[in-house]
Amino acid sequence: MSFERSMNRLDEIIASLDNDKLPLDEALELYKEGVALSAECKKALEDAKQQVKILDSSKEQEDA
């Protein structure tokens, strides 16, 4: 799943969990899904940050 789709799904999960009428079992399943999606998004952001560092490092070496 793409980063954007994961973030959209997280938004949906948060909205659902904010609903007080959600059965406990369903709330727990949504929470588990949200935790997994959050970890995926964090990893994607860390990977993107690393790529930016590499690109910045390459650019600095070219300019030197």
pLDDT in tens, 3-60: 999 999 999 999 999 988 999 999 999 999 999 999 999 999 999 999 999 998 887 7
pLDDT at 64: 64
Cα 16 off chain centre by: 17
| 45: phi then psi, degrees, rounded to nearest 5 | -65, -40
Nearest to 2, CA basis, from 52, 38, 44: 44
What are the structural domain ranges in the chain? 3-63
Q: Which fold has domain 3-63?
A: Helix Hairpins (1.10.287)
Question: Hey, is 61 helix, strand or coil?
Answer: helix
- Integer distance in angstroms from the first to the last C-alpha of the chain? 39
What's the pLDDT band for 61 if we cut at 50, 70, 90?
confident
- Non-local (6+) Cβ contacts of 1 within 8 A are 9, 37, 40
